[in-house]
Amino acid sequence: MSYTLEDLFRLVQKPGRYTGGEMNSVVKDKEKVNIRFAFCFPDLYEVGMSHLGMKILYGLYNEVPDIWCERVFMPDTDMEELMRQNGIKLFGLESRDSIDTFDFIGFTMQYELSYTAALNMLDLAGLPLRSLERDSSHPIVIAGGPCVSNPEPIADFFDLFVLGEGEEVSLELFELYRRHKAAGFDRDKFLTEAAKIEGVYVPSLYEISYKDDGTIASVTPVNGAPAKVRKRIIEDLDRVYYPDRFVVPFIDIVHDRGMSEIFRGCVRGCRFCQAGFIYRPVREKSPEVIDAQSRALCENTGYEEFSLSSLSTSDYSQLETLLPRLLDWAEKQKTNISLPSLRVDGFSEELAARLNILRRSGLTFAPEAGTQRLRDAINKNLTEDEILSTARKAFSAGWTSVKLYFMSGLPTETMEDIEGIANLSQKIVDSFYKNPDKPKGKGVNVSVSVSCFVPKPFTPFQWEPQDTMEMLQEKQKHLRDSVKTKKISLKWHDAATSFLEGVFARGDRRLCAVLEEAFKRGCKRDAWGEHFNLQTWIDVMNDLGVDPAFYANRRREYDEILPWDHLDFGVSKKFLIRENQLAHQSRTTPNCRQSCSGCGAAVWKKGVCVE
């Protein structure tokens, strides 16, 4: 006896992940739409539903009368097993129709370890994994998101990639699709034409050749595809679409609140941070627009909390204007404002009190490195004095715990820098006990979380070798030995997942075969700790003759052709080389507001570049 989809809801954990029907989800008459789009997030519902980009594009696409965009997430293991046993294909939450009949399947690629999940979803949809094995009868399979700054390791599976911000370019792509569909759809013709849209990268139109040493010899566009594909940006954030309602989930998700985007890009230029480079230039929304959008969002969702979303909220130039304006209505409606990635200093006391800053955000710092020398090398402009003075203030206000985020394996890092992590943490502990106003009868807890640095494309560290797992483990041991008190608790991220992330972050097309084989051997949920199995990956790479160290642990020369060199995210190679050299001299670069460092993003003549 085989079960229906409805039957499966009774058998699985958390059926609310699969049933759809949430408030503000969009159901259209499928007979009356021309383009059906499956928006796929290669992770669980709880994770995907927390993602702002998906909410924006879902709302934008569904505003268009002849487009119906549905949500699709990775099912959990119990649901997947039942779907496979009962021949039920991956379906859209809104219609419950199998997505293999849709016009487009679009993935957002947020992290490298979700690549196999995307393959699994294509497989669950009953589609051939490779673009070459699909034809005009299949949906067009596309992807966007930060990982497509180097989409080469997944190039064989996707028909096209959308580089940069998707609001305008995807509508242009749909318009082209309408014309081709009306004229009798031919996939190859469509893809050749799509490649002419700025921001669209069709990987099958580029031939890659390699040198004997394994590095790239040449990248050759064919059929009139451009030699360089430049990412797209939205020029005026005040005028771009923003959803006035989010789908309100039934089940608890990771970030279950409203989100108001306040700007894109980041002025800081921390050299390890990919987001700080690929989203340039910084463009802000005006306080009036943010205010109106936040208000509409809260009214239409009933959310009791919304956050101001950006890469570095404190850097919003009109925060002191915006916050009182938002608070005026939010306080009346008993709506909380949450401010992630906020520097807690630099607020007036009155505003800090109204925002309840300390209670809300807790006390969290991301010094990223343990010594000033290394912080200068990575261009993280946070000084020990700033950290200690804020911590003192917080202790006086009754706080007893502090969270610190660091990275290990940063370029130029030595054991001295590792000891610096322990020393800085110790200074915070000491400042608690030296504080005359400290909370009576209480101890302090400094929790230190250390992640492993992964060099990423389009950053000044794109040429740097990643530390091997052995090096990272040695540094970890040294840090444990350097911590002398139980007031400091240490948490270390798994070096094995970072290693695999490092392989794929700067990988080339030869890794597509590795991904496919690893998927066939059961790797489907690498981003979920308990399902990650490094040994399978090592075995696959051994069997296919691929050396992971070539991708992760090798220093590249400045003149090497990198797998992503034919893509243009606005920052020039010249600038990145200069930044790399400054890093090795432990010299900082001013942020975009202090002075322009000529990264290249000024070609758009927008945002901070022309302020």
Phi, psi dihedrals of residue 404, rounded to the nearest 5°: -125, 135
State the nearest-atom distance from the C-beta of 248 to another protein, in Å.
Answer: 6
Which ranges in 64-210 belong to alpha helices (H)? 77-85, 115-124, 166-182, 187-194
CA distance 220 to 108: 27
State the nearest-atom distance from the C-beta of 18 to another protein, in Å.
Answer: 8
Strand partners, 41: 73
DSSP state at residue 219: E
Residue 550 vs residues 456, 496, 503, 547: alpha-carbon distances, Å = 15, 16, 8, 6
State the nearest-atom distance from the C-beta of 74 to another protein, in Å.
Answer: 19
Helix (H) or strand (E) holding 331, with range, is helix 319-332
- Name the residue nearer to another protein (CB basis): 19 or 341: 19
State the nearest-atom distance from the C-beta of 335 to another protein, in Å.
Answer: 9
**CB atoms closer than 10 angstroms to residue 332:** 8
Half-sphere exposure of 348 (CA within 13 A, CB side): 8
Helix (H) or strand (E) holding 420, with range, is helix 415-434
Q: Is the dihedral of CA 41, 56, 336, 332 positive or negative?
A: negative
CA 411 to chain centre: 22
- Name the residue nearer to another protein (CB basis): 12 or 377: 12
- Name the residue nearer to another protein (CB basis): 214 or 302: 302
**How many H-runs (helices) and E-runs (strands) does the chain carry?**
21, 19
Question: Residue numbers of the site for another protein (CB under 8 A)?
Answer: 1, 7, 9-10, 15-16, 19-23, 248, 250-252, 299-304, 333-334
- Name the residue nearer to another protein (CB basis): 9 or 185: 9
- Name the residue nearer to another protein (CB basis): 247 or 378: 247
- Name the residue nearer to another protein (CB basis): 296 or 544: 296
Sole residue written with tokens 């489907």: 524
The two three-digit tokens of residue 249, written as one number:
């989930």
Strand partners, 479: none
- Name the residue nearer to another protein (CB basis): 23 or 254: 23
- Name the residue nearer to another protein (CB basis): 401 or 423: 401
Phi, psi dihedrals of residue 164, rounded to the nearest 5°: 90, -155
State the nearest-atom distance from the C-beta of 76 to another protein, in Å.
Answer: 15
Strand partners, 23: 248
State the nearest-atom distance from the C-beta of 60 to another protein, in Å.
Answer: 22
State the nearest-atom distance from the C-beta of 10 to another protein, in Å.
Answer: 6
State the nearest-atom distance from the C-beta of 512 to another protein, in Å.
Answer: 38
- Name the residue nearer to another protein (CB basis): 6 or 385: 6
Helix (H) or strand (E) holding 490, with range, is strand 488-492
State the nearest-atom distance from the C-beta of 302 to another protein, in Å.
Answer: 3
State the nearest-atom distance from the C-beta of 96 to another protein, in Å.
Answer: 10
- Name the residue nearer to another protein (CB basis): 15 or 226: 15
Cβ burial 439-452 (10 Å sphere, 16+ → b, else e): eeeeebebbbbbbb
Helix (H) or strand (E) holding 295, with range, is helix 287-301
- Name the residue nearer to another protein (CB basis): 229 or 253: 253
By CB atoms closer than 10 A (0-12, 13-18, 19+), residue 137 is: exposed
By the 8 A CB rule, do 150 and 43 touch? no
State the nearest-atom distance from the C-beta of 251 to another protein, in Å.
Answer: 6
Written as one letter, the residue type at 207 is E
